[in-house]
């Protein structure tokens, strides 16, 4: 899905979840676990799992090279879980120091920075001081800090203030992942958010953002649970959801804290249980009507029935705001999705169309005059800008002596085919993808795997 859209370098380990380091109680989330199964790998808890450290992961990819290049970030959620499990509390000073030590080791072993997913467990239980300590360690080794912020909706202004505070205090280069204002009541906050970021940039902070060209997001369904209900790992979460009194408390809080229209926006996507597959693409409110209950009650019942393995789409963003975000020259394009395929093991699941359509859609928007800039600037947002932000020398531009990472496409035939009801469809119009001087795609998939592990250093 990526090499067929001309993607020559994939940045992995975003939103706090990475392949490594996988130590202590740290476990990959359900989405990661599904990909590991698809790749034919053992359960990460097994002694036969091929990596634990970033160095071992790098070695694994060297022995099993992918088609695109790989830039890896160390996920804060794995760092935290490896040190203190999934406890729903702030880290102690000793625990924070150990997280810093493990991040420094990962950076020394080839990570290009670290990421946070501050709406996910266990990162959501961290204090800003914990993140700052990690950011200082990354800055000292010239790595970046990519963040899925603590809020992208009701508290987005506070979340942006936290991120900018970390940037000012540490000097780290910051990349805000999939910048958005989610929820109709928050759409009007965008200008304030952009103003704060631009002020920080004018004062010398290196702050950038990425965004996918869709107004529907996708993440795990359980991410909407109250924070206290997400502590101590999946077994504990399921136990709470199955307990009638605790489930009633969760339903009550969700009813009080979330507006009725927020339930209208939730659409079931990936599911694990065969009995629930028929609900893919169905709105949660329609499931609630079928089950004869309220949307919060249906939400809890669905999580239990699918044992927390459910993905969802959230139709909560403004198209006008999407174009306004892209108008900022420091915003690049990112798919916020993993690599998929229309056949074989990677065809499992029900991914967001951004998996197959992000880059073709963005180019099409530029060609059709929807954006405030043309095709040349659109290409820069996908090539030179991310290469500069990630600190990848010799990448992102056609120049003598640069690495030959090249995409050939036909503007006349560029077309997105993927949809929310039939996502596994490749884009059209891409003719050839060259990675490190070797053809990885020329209308048909190649058996060549020319991708390399890239280490970015900034500042």
What pLDDT score does 43 carry?
62
What pLDDT score does 41 carry?
59
Q: In this structure, are 275 and 356 located in the same domain?
A: no
- Domain membership of residue 162 (yes or no) is yes
Q: In this structure, are 165 and 300 located in the same domain?
A: no
Q: Can you tell me the distance from the alpha carbon of 179 to that of 209, in angstroms, rounded to the nearest whole number?
A: 6
Question: What phi, psi does 429 have (nearest 5°)?
Answer: 105, -10
Q: Which of 294, 312, 330 is the last residue in one of the domains?
A: 312
- Domain membership of residue 301 (yes or no) is yes
> Residue 208 pairs with which residues in a beta bridge?
175
Question: What phi, psi does 290 have (nearest 5°)?
Answer: -65, -40
Q: Is 178 helix (H, G, I), strand (E, B) or coil?
A: coil
Single out the residue of 149, 183, 153 nearest to residue 164, CA to CA: 149
DSSP state at residue 445: B
- Per-residue pLDDT for 31 more than 70? no
What pLDDT score does 16 carry?
97
What does the pLDDT look like over 209-232, one tens digit per residue? 999 999 999 999 999 999 999 999
- Domain membership of residue 448 (yes or no) is no
Q: Which of 256, 291, 312 is the last residue in one of the domains?
A: 312
- Domain membership of residue 449 (yes or no) is no
- Domain membership of residue 98 (yes or no) is yes
Query: Greater confidence, 270 or 409?
Result: 409
- Domain membership of residue 51 (yes or no) is yes
Q: In this structure, are 207 and 92 located in the same domain?
A: yes
Q: Which of 265, 288, 312 is the last residue in one of the domains?
A: 312
Number of compact structural domains in the chain: 2
Place of tokens 């600190």: 391
The reported pTM is 0.95
Q: In this structure, are 291 and 339 located in the same domain?
A: no
Q: In this structure, are 283 and 323 located in the same domain?
A: no
Q: What is the mean pLDDT of the chain?
A: 95
Q: In this structure, are 341 and 292 located in the same domain?
A: no
Structure tokens at 18: 């990475």
Q: In this structure, are 406 and 327 located in the same domain?
A: yes
What pLDDT score does 447 carry?
86
Which residues contact residue 132 at a Cβ distance below 8 angstroms, ignoring those fewer than 6 apart?
A: 165, 166, 169, 170
Give Cα separations from 172 to 54, 77, 96, 133, 134 (angstroms): 21, 19, 18, 11, 10
Q: In this structure, are 401 and 341 located in the same domain?
A: yes
- Per-residue pLDDT for 198 more than 60? yes
Which residues contact residue 23 at a Cβ distance below 8 angstroms, ignoring those fewer than 6 apart?
A: 52, 53, 78, 82, 102
DSSP state at residue 283: B
Angle at 367 between CA 362 and CA 371, to 5 degrees: 60
Q: In this structure, are 412 and 338 located in the same domain?
A: yes
Give, for 454, the enclosing helix (H) or strand (E). Answer: strand 453-454
Q: In this structure, are 306 and 328 located in the same domain?
A: no
Identify the band that residue 64 occupies on the pLDDT scale cut at 50, 70 and 90: very high
- Per-residue pLDDT for 73 more than 70? yes
Across the range 54-73, mean pLDDT stands at: 97
Q: Based on C-alpha coordinates, what's the Rg of the chain?
A: 21
Domain harbouring 127, CATH code: 3.20.20.140
Range of the domain at 251: 232-312
Across the range 422-450, mean pLDDT stands at: 95
The number of residues making up the chain comes to 459
Q: In this structure, are 44 and 148 located in the same domain?
A: yes
- Domain membership of residue 378 (yes or no) is yes
Place of tokens 């036969």: 48
Q: In this structure, are 54 and 120 located in the same domain?
A: yes
Q: Can you tell me the distance from the alpha carbon of 63 to that of 323, in angstroms, rounded to the nearest whole number?
A: 42
- Domain membership of residue 221 (yes or no) is no
What does the pLDDT look like over 113-161, one tens digit per residue? 999 999 999 999 999 999 999 999 999 999 999 999 999 999 999 999 9
């Amino acid at each position: 899905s990526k090499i067929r859209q001309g993607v020559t370098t994939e940045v992995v380990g975003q939103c706090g979840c990475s392949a490594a380091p996988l130590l202590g109680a740290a476990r990959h989330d359900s989405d990661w676990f599904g990909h590991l199964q698809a790749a034919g790998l053992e359960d990460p808890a097994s002694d036969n799992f091929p990596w634990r450290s970033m160095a071992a992961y790098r070695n694994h990819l060297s022995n099993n090279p992918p088609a695109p290049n790989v830039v890896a970030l160390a996920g804060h959620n794995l760092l935290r879980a490896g040190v203190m499990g999934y406890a729903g509390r702030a880290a102690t000073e000793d625990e924070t120091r150990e997280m810093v030590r493990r991040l420094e080791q990962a950076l020394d072993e080839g990570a290009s920075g670290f990421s946070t997913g501050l709406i996910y467990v266990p990162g959501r239980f961290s204090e800003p001081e914990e993140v700052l300590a990690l950011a200082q360690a990354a800055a000292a080794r010239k790595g970046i800090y990519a963040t899925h912020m603590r809020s992208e909706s009701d508290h987005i202004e506070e979340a942006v203030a936290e991120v900018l505070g970390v940037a000012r205090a540490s000097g780290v280069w910051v990349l805000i992942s999939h910048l958005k204002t989610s929820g109709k009541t928050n759409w009007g906050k965008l200008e304030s958010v952009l103003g704060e970021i631009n002020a920080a940039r004018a004062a010398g902070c290196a702050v950038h953002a990425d965004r996918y060209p869709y107004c529907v997001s996708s993440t795990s369904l359980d991410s909407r649970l109250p924070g206290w209900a997400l502590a101590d790992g999946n077994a504990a979460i399921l136990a709470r959801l199955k307990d009638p009194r605790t489930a009633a408390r969760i339903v009550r809080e969700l009813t009080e804290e979330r507006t009725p229209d927020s339930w209208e926006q939730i659409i079931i996507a990936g599911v694990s249980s065969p009995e629930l597959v028929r609900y893919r693409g169905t709105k949660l409110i329609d499931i609630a009507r079928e089950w004869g209950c309220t949307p919060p009650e249906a939400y809890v019942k669905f999580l239990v029935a699918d044992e927390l393995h459910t993905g969802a789409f959230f139709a909560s963003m403004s198209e006008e705001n999407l174009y306004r975000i892209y108008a900022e020259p420091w915003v690049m394009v990112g798919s916020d999705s993993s690599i998929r395929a229309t056949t074989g093991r990677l065809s499992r699941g029900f991914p967001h169309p951004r998996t197959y359509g992000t880059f073709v859609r963005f180019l099409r928007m530029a060609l059709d005059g929807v954006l405030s800039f043309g095709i040349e600037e659109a290409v820069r947002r996908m090539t030179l800008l991310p290469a500069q932000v990630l600190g990848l020398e010799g990448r992102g531009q056609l120049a003598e002596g640069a690495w030959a990472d090249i995409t050939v496409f036909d503007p006349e035939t560029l077309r997105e085919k993927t949809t929310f009801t039939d996502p596994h469809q490749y884009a059209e119009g891409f003719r050839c993808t060259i990675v490190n001087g070797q053809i990885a795609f020329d209308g048909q998939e190649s058996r060549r795997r020319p991708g390399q592990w890239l280490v970015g250093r900034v500042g």
